[in-house]
């Protein structure tokens, strides 16, 4: 479908606007809500950078044009009614003007309220979000910040070191040490995935594919 035909599916409100939910394509975290009109949506499709309509200023604005915290569009979807957009992006730096990774950092009990795990794999999802936050906000004194600022070679070196520690713990049959070192290895692998902008979902999909793949018989 062409961009023009795609845009014809969108239903704007009486002000000519449609809400756009912006999501980190890697962590799946919802980053912000803004509004687009026909012109800003066309520019978003054309440039693959997010453009919105400022209701307060009455003008178009390109996210990150001033701050440098740009959003590279990965995909655009509209909902079943065609009156809401979902924009998946590669987020550079914080999405919120406050410097927070996401604009949605306030929970029911106060700021930065955590979410209760919903299943046994929730810690992985929570860790992915935390790593994405550290990448975007770069808080001083954070070990994750240190890794991102040192760069790819440092991250890979740590993965090598943690892999060796896992091997040693396994060889020694030290269950407590093995689970601790395995956790360290998983953490550093997830930092690498974030550095490469690869969602954890992609790894899960690969595992699911392998699980369902027919076993070849000799």
pTM of the predicted model as reported, rounded to 2 decimal places: 0.64
Residue 116 is predicted with a pLDDT of 41
User: Average pLDDT for residues 69-78, to the nearest whole number?
Assistant: 93
Give CA–CA dist 95/64, Å, rounded.
9
User: Over 90: is that where the pLDDT of 179 sits?
Assistant: yes
**pLDDT one-digit tens code per residue, 89-122:** 998 888 998 888 899 888 776 666 544 434 567 7
Report helix, strand or coil for 54. strand
The pair phi, psi for residue 163, each rounded to 5°, is -60, -45
Average pLDDT, the chain: 89
User: Over 60: is that where the pLDDT of 83 sits?
Assistant: yes
Position with higher pLDDT, 66 vs 10: 10
Residue 115 is predicted with a pLDDT of 45
User: β-strands 71-78, 85-91: how paired?
Assistant: antiparallel
Please give the full DSSP string across 80-131, using - where no structure is assigned: TTSS-EEEEEEE-S-SSTTS-S-S--EETTEETPPPPP-STTHHHHHHHHHH
Residue 23 CB partners (closer than 8 Å, separation 6+)? 29, 30, 31, 86, 87, 88, 89
The pair phi, psi for residue 93, each rounded to 5°, is 80, -170
User: Average pLDDT for residues 32-57, to the nearest whole number?
Assistant: 94
- Confidence band for 123, pLDDT divided at 50, 70 and 90: confident
**pLDDT one-digit tens code per residue, 136-172:** 999 999 999 999 999 999 999 999 999 999 999 999 9
Give CA–CA dist 10/138, Å, rounded.
37
Q: Which residues pair with 18 in a beta bridge?
A: 36
Give CA–CA dist 164/173, Å, rounded.
14
User: Average pLDDT for residues 198-210, to the nearest whole number?
Assistant: 86
Give CA–CA dist 35/20, Å, rounded.
5
User: Average pLDDT for residues 26-35, to the nearest whole number?
Assistant: 91
- Confidence band for 13, pLDDT divided at 50, 70 and 90: very high
- Confidence band for 67, pLDDT divided at 50, 70 and 90: confident
User: Over 50: is that where the pLDDT of 127 sits?
Assistant: yes
């Amino acid at each position: 479908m062409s961009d023009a035909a795609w845009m014809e599916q969108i239903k704007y409100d009486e002000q000519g606007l449609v809400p756009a939910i912006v999501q980190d394509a890697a962590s799946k975290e919802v980053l912000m809500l803004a509004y687009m009109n026909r012109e800003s949506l066309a520019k978003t499709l054309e440039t693959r950078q997010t453009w919105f309509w400022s209701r307060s200023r009455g003008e178009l604005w390109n996210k990150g044009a001033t701050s440098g915290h740009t959003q590279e569009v990965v995909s655009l979807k509209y909902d079943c009614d065609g009156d809401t957009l979902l924009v998946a992006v590669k987020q550079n730096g914080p999405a919120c003007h406050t410097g927070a990774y996401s604009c949605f950092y306030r929970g029911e009990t106060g700021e930065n309220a955590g979410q209760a795990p919903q299943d046994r794999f929730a810690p992985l999802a929570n860790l992915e979000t935390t790593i994405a936050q550290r990448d975007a906000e770069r808080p001083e004194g954070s070990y994750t910040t240190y890794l991102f600022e040192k760069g790819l070679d440092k991250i890979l070196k740590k993965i090598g070191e943690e892999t060796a520690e896992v091997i040693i713990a396994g060889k020694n049959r030290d269950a407590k040490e093995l689970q601790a070192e395995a956790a360290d290895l998983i953490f550093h692998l997830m930092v690498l995935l974030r550095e490469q902008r690869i969602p954890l979902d992609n790894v899960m999909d690969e595992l699911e594919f392998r699980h369902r793949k027919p076993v070849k018989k000799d």
